[in-house]
Chain A
Amino acid sequence: MKFSSGWIYLIPALFLLLWNSIIPTLYVAWASTQRWYLTGLTITYVGLENYYRVLKDPTFIFSLGRTFTFMIICIAIEIVFGIVVAFLLLEQFRGNKLLQSVISIPFMIPPIAIGATWKLMLLPGRGPVPYLLSSIAGVNFDITTNGLHAFLAVIIMDVWHWTPFVALFIGAALSAVPLEYVESATVDGAKSYMRFRYVILPMIKQQLLLVILLRAMDLFRIFDEVWFLTGGGPGTATSFISIYLIRQILAEWNVGAGSVSSLVLLYVTLMLCWGALLIARIRR
């Protein structure tokens, strides 16, 4: 078949993707240099003023810090739980396939419904979690007024949402580990911890790194479920970077500043994404 004929198939899709990735990026880059409020009538060029204002804004710095703290805590919990569950899923037992499907439910349903579900679970005065916490531990768990409680709630929600995914991902990597290696280590007298640390871990290292990057990417841009559960509050306790951005647009109508935060969000995500693809390609 002729060399040129192949492009005909690609052009419609590539055109759409190119339009989607280049035009919005250029648009945001241009908007970031304008003083532009949706409520005002004029758009003026202000150079780097928006960058200066956003990057010096204590709320922005706080959001960025919150996002990274949230990211690190969630990834740590999800990886540990994920590895434990992955080992259980490796076992051959009746209902294994069913179990794998059942635990996939959290990441197949709309994130906004997850926010709603956890709102029902955590609502002070009605939800089962605050009820049990106050009757067992005497803690007054209230996500609507206590910033720390809201932050913990968002972490629990994300762990619930994504641990099954991490477990399935690591499970797929574990099932590729050759059984002989593990067995010969057992014969050599390696304890289970040592088998994991020195035999299994090095063999799933890349997949582990890959799933960490994928999670980091998703956590960095988390929006839907947090928006529903806490709206970024109370105050700014759960105001992650996407929420900060949407607040800039919805509350301040500030397109220029919103564009600056958009670019920050875009570049951090792209770096994580390139990292993930790089690892994936090295393995091929």
Chain B
Amino acid sequence: MKLFLRIRNILGVVVAILFLLFTLFPVYWLILTSFKTTLDIVSPTPVFLIDYVELKNYIDPFSGMVGPYLESLRNSLIIAVGSIIINLSLGFLAAYGFSRFKLKGDVHLFFWTLTNRMAPPAIFVIPYYMIYSYLHLLDTHVGLIIVYTVFNLPLTIWLLKGFFDSIPKDLEEAALVDGHSQWYVLTKIIIPLSKAGIAVAALFIFIFSWNEYCFAMMLTSLNARTLPSSLSGFVTSVWMQWGYLAAVATVSIIPGLILTFLLSRYILSGMTLGLAR
């Protein structure tokens, strides 16, 4: 397309390479630091290449030698998977309802569900803290699973509704005419046909629960601490262990690195609930 700036021009190539370097260098630096020896890390002249791979930074935190990182990793996984399960069950039903039934005011309702996704987490910290302390849900897996379910539900509903809208209604009507139940329609027709959508929704819920920090920091302390809130513990510790910090941070970005490629077709619409097209 002859538009404005072209990659075939020298300028275009230079800009593209600079941008790619700018994007990748910090990630490279993080991963590199996680494999450096302490001597290389504290060296006043930054070390840009290493010839010796130090694994101590990974072994110490994840073998239980320093800090609760192994438990945090486990908690992060439990909470992400738990929230995927609840979120998908509720979101699946709601998306089906929005997709298949004409209800009074359902368009407004649908948009209202989307606004739920946009509210800043920091404002929910006080009420959730108080309510959870009454309900004894502070520092529990269930507590965080509920929060993440609620915050990702709009995304699931929106994503799955898109997939359901593309499944022709005739199939379901034929099955109902044949005397099959609504349950049969959902489990034997809709679920198999929307497998891709369900997978995409599950991966998005995973990434958002895995990445979340604000709630995790305020609502957990020890038992249900997730990886991001453990990571932030490095800030307050008196002696900064930069190698450990880099190693734990590297582990925390692995799902993001992988899912970026798996979800590449859906990232933009998933992040904006379809506002980008």
Contact = CB atoms under 8 A, between A and B. Distances in A.
Interface string B1-37: 1111111100010011001101110110110010000
Contacts of B143: none
A7 B97 contact: yes
Contacts, number: 300
Contacts of A12: 90, 93-94
A47 interface: no
Residue among B29, B96, B126 facing the most chain A CB atoms (10 A cut-off): B126
A221 B123 CA distance: 10
Nearest to B104: A3
Contacts of A211: 276
A28 interface: yes
Interface in B111-164: 111, 113-116, 118-128, 130-131, 149-151, 153-154, 157
A109 B256 contact: yes
Contacts of A101: 260-261, 264
Interface in A97-120: 97, 99-113, 115-120
B234 to A, nearest CB: 7
Interface residues of B, number: 98
Given A87-B3, A105-B260, 19 more contacts: A6-B97, A9-B101, A12-B93, A13-B113, A90-B1, A104-B264, A109-B253, A109-B256, A110-B227, A110-B256, A113-B252, A116-B246, A121-B26, A126-B242, A169-B276, A192-B4, A195-B3, A210-B276, A273-B118
B75 interface: no
A116 B231 contact: yes
A109 B128 CA distance: 25
A127 interface: yes
Interface residues of A, number: 108
Nearest to A5: B101
Contact of B120 (A116, A176, A265): A265
B69 interface: no
Interface stretch (A48-56, A71-79, A147-155, A222-230): A222-230
B114 A223 contact: no
Contacts of B214: 223-224, 242, 246
Given A13-B90, A176-B277, A231 B235 contact: yes
Contacts of A25: 127
24 contacts: A10-B94, A13-B153, A17-B113, A19-B150, A27-B131, A87-B6, A90-B3, A91-B7, A104-B264, A106-B27, A108-B267, A112-B232, A113-B252, A113-B253, A126-B42, A126-B46, A160-B22, A169-B268, A195-B4, A221-B121, A262-B126, A263-B123, A266-B119, A266-B123
B252 A269 contact: no
Nearest to B97: A9
A269 B125 CA distance: 16
B59 interface: no
A34 to B, nearest CB: 11
A224 B245 CA distance: 16
Interface stretch (B49-57, B60-68, B194-202, B205-213): B205-213
A1 B20 CA distance: 53
A168 B268 contact: yes
B181 interface: no
B239 interface: no
B32 to A, nearest CB: 9
Contact of B5 (A7, A10, A84, A165): A84
B97 A108 contact: no
Interface in A22-50: 23-25, 27-28, 31
A237 B11 CA distance: 37
A12 B89 CA distance: 10
Interface in A167-186: 168-169, 172-174, 176, 179, 182-183, 186
A36 to B, nearest CB: 10
B1 A179 contact: yes
B20 to A, nearest CB: 7
A276 interface: yes
B2 A214 contact: no
Nearest to A135: B45
Contact of B98 (A10, A87, A173, A269): A10
Contact of B1 (A115, A173, A182): A182
Contact of A16 (B12, B150, B207, B242): B150
